[in-house]
Amino acid sequence: MISKYRKQFNSSFSEQKYKDFLNALGEGFPEIPFRVAETPIFLPADLVSKLVEAGAEIIKLIQQPNFGELTKGSIPAQWNVPNENSQPHFLTFDFGICKDEKGDLVPKLIEMQGFPSLYGFQAVLGKAYKEAYGLASSLTPFLNGFDEESYIALLKKVILGDCEPHEVALMDIDALEQKTAIDFYITQGYLGIKILGLTDIFKEGNSLYYREGGEKIKLKRIYNRLIFDEIADKTDLFKESFDPREELDIEWVTHPNWFYRISKYTMPFLKSEFVPETYFLNELDAVPADLENYVLKPLFSFAGMGVIIDVSISDIEAIKDPENWILQKKVVYEPVVQAPDGGVKAEIRLMYLWPDGGEPQLCINLARLSRGKMIGVRYNKDFDWVGGTIGLVEGE
Q: Which pLDDT tens digit goes with each residue over 119-147?
A: 999 999 999 999 999 999 999 999 999 99
pLDDT band of residue 302 (cuts 50, 70, 90) is low
Own/partner pairs, 106-110, CB within 8 angstroms, 24+ separation: 106/50, 106/273, 106/274, 107/47, 107/50, 107/51, 107/54, 107/274, 107/348, 108/274, 108/275, 108/276, 108/331, 109/54, 109/58, 109/267, 109/270, 109/272, 109/274, 109/275, 109/276, 110/331, 110/347, 110/375
Residue 227's nearest CA partner among 254, 189, 200 is 254
Residue 152 has pLDDT above 80, yes or no: yes
pLDDT of residue 356: 94
Residue 72 has pLDDT above 90, yes or no: yes
Q: Please compute the mean of the pLDDT values over residues 373-380 and round it to a whole number.
A: 61
Residue 107 has pLDDT above 90, yes or no: yes
Residue 154 has pLDDT above 60, yes or no: yes
